[in-house]
Structure 1
Amino acid sequence: MDFITYEQEGFVGVITINRPKALNALNSGVLDELNSCLDAIDLETTRALILTGAGEKSFVAGADIAEMSTLTKAEGEAFGKKGNDVFRKLETFPIPVIAAVNGFALGGGCEIAMSCDIRICSDNALFGQPEVGLGITPGFGGTQRLARLIGAGKAKEMIYACANVKADEAKALGLVNAVYTQEELLPAAKKLAGKIAKNAPIAVRACKKAINDGLDAPMDEAIVIEEKLFGSCFETEDQREGMGAFLEKRKVEGFKNR
């Protein structure tokens, strides 16, 4: 791949958007490679993912404006769909995804970070949706996910006024969970991913699905989603090992993902 690198460290996969000269901007090639990378991940041996950008200046600075500048109306809609399809695949990916935001997360960069389960960032991170200053709207889910994550009022301020937020404000808004130095960021993401990977994979995946599906459903329907996923964990080897270890007052010997 030209724009995406993938590394496997134990049960943790690390996806890096590797286009640093363009501040890791998203063009069609990046989106296609990210889509292919997600399709190729072995879910039997991978229990958590980290998504980050190459270099220390930018996570993803946005979509590629040079590519977008000449699009027709139909081509613009198709480009939005391409990005939304990939980001939705990331959002609904069976295993948890942690965004390690190492700098600029503007436009498509903010949008791809919001598609991840958990976001942490470096202290030089900057989040924003500056699209109206370019004569367009956010096109990869920004108008939808930002309002859901930080509330409609603040999201509208950020989008209508192109008002960027720095790392500390992003944490105060709940857009990110924690702020680290540039040097601490990736190790912190790997530590968190490792904690996730130690737990029963079938149960973790069921929790992700329950949360994601339940957020879009009325409570009476949402608790039924949880009940069914709760039930699906029983009679698995991991459930027997986890409960057996608890009852026998010993440490879990290791979850097998089955």
Structure 2
Amino acid sequence: MFAQGIVVFGLNRPKAKNAISRNLVKMMSEAVDAVKTNNKVRTVIVCSLVPGVFCAGADLKERAKMHPSEVGPFVSKARALITELGNLPMPTIAAIDGAALGGGLEMALACDMRVAATSAKMGLVETKLAIIPGAGGTQRLPRTIGVSLAKELIFAGRVVDGAEAQNLGLVNHAVEQNDSGDAAYRRALDLAREIIPQGPIAIRMAKLAINQGIEVDLATGLAIEEACYAQVIPTKDRIEGLTAFKEKRPPRYKGE
């Protein structure tokens, strides 16, 4: 779905609770590739079209039928998909209106922001199956909520609701669920609409500076920021911003 610069990836495997299968990985990888280089896309929202669930994690029924030699390559493909989602140049928002478990939460963690219904359930529960999070969970959760809390949640395989997730800093916003079961999606749309009027190149450069800078020491991070700032100086959007400010009107950014 595409409207006003917002692209929506809607997970839709109702019988399998949006479990991550070979086919879902393939289709979502194609969707990510399609928006990666599209400068008209200002924000991506990942949501579920299945009531009561975001993504239940790996498709364990499919996994049980795999030969042991097939499991590693499949997990690598799922990990690559989630990495690609995390590397999209535009802001990404996960709208969690239901359960996000295992790989489902790992997918949400790869997004820049997360919005959840207070009734949603979230957790990296892999240790219950005698495995560990394999699609970035051991790396992204500590970077999101801190090392000690991440260890507690992962070691215990604990599931938290949306309200607790907000208290932990796991989600940006927690909202009461509505009758149609899409409260988080609606809040994500509101958040996307806040972002869209801003300079799109500036937003992408800010994301790049934050994502790269957080992994290095402050001095290197400041150098990354300077390099990203240099990218916005020659843009038409920057001139438009100054002109609009002077003329006391809203800017009309084109991403140029």
TM tier, smaller: over 0.9
**1:96 and 2:91 equivalent?**
yes
Between the two proteins, the alignment pairs up a number of residues equal to 251
1:115 paired with 2:114, answer no
- Alignment equivalent of 1:58, drawn from 46, 53, 71: 53
Residue in structure 2 matching 1:29, options 11, 23, 48: 23
Instruction: Pick one of 133, 143, 148 that aligns with 1:148.
Output: 143
Deviation, structure 1 residue 13 = 0.7
107-116 or 142-151: bigger deviation: 142-151
**Gaps (5+ residues) in structure 1?**
1-6
Q: Kindly state the Cα deviation for residue 74 of structure 1 after the two structures are TM-superposed.
A: 4.2
- The alpha carbon displacement at 1:71 in A equals 4.2
RMSD between aligned residues? 1.4
| CA offsets 1:33-89 (integer angstroms, 9 cap, x no match) | 100011112622211010001222100011111122354554332222111111111
Same amino acid, percent of matched pairs:
37
* Distance across 1 between alignment mates of 2:139 and 2:234: 38
Using the alignment, how far apart are the partners of 2:232 and 2:69 within structure 1? 45
- Where 2:196 maps in the other structure, the secondary structure is helix
Q: TM-score, normalised by structure 2?
A: 0.94
2: distance between equivalents of 1:211 and 1:69?
39
Structure 1 position 79 matched with structure 2 position 74: yes
Q: Matches of 1:21 and 1:71 in 2, distance apart?
A: 20
Aligned twin of 2:239: 240
Q: Which residue of 1 aligns with 2:221?
A: 222
Return the offset for 1:110. 0.7
**Does the 8 A contact of 2:11 with 2:50 survive in 1?**
no
Work out whether residues 146 and 155 of structure 1, in 8 Å CA contact, stay in contact via their aligned partners in 2.
Answer: yes
Whole-angstrom CA distance in 2 between matches of 1:137 and 1:73? 16
Aligned AA for 2:149? Answer: K
Structure 1 runs (4+) deviating above 6 angstroms are none
C-alpha contact (below 8 Å) 2:102/2:123 kept by paired residues: yes
Matched residue SS, 2:7: strand
What letter corresponds to residue 155 of structure 1 in structure 2? Answer: A
CA contact (8 A) 1:56 1:182 kept: no
- Provide the secondary structure at the position in 2 that maps to 1:249: coil
Deviation at 1:147, TM superposition (A): 1.3
Give, as a single letter, the amino acid of the residue that structure 2 aligns with 1:244: T
Q: What one-letter code is carried by the residue in structure 1 that aligns with 2:152? A: E
Partner of 1:205: 204
SS at match of 1:14: strand
Gaps spanning 5+ residues in structure 2: where?
Answer: none
Counterpart residue identity of residue 245, structure 1: A
Distance in 2 separating the partners of 1:51 and 1:170: 18
Scaled by the length of structure 1, the TM-score of the pair is 0.93
Q: Match for 2:243: what amino acid?
A: G
Task: Give the letter aligned to residue 211 of structure 2.
Answer: N
CA–CA separation in structure 2 for the residues paired with 1:208 and 1:181: 29
Q: Structure 1 residues 70, 132: closer, same or farther in 2, change over 3 A?
A: farther
The one-letter amino acid paired with 1:248 is E
The 2-side partners of 1:237 and 1:64 are apart by 47
Paired with 1:206 and 1:159, the residues of 2 have a C-alpha distance of 32
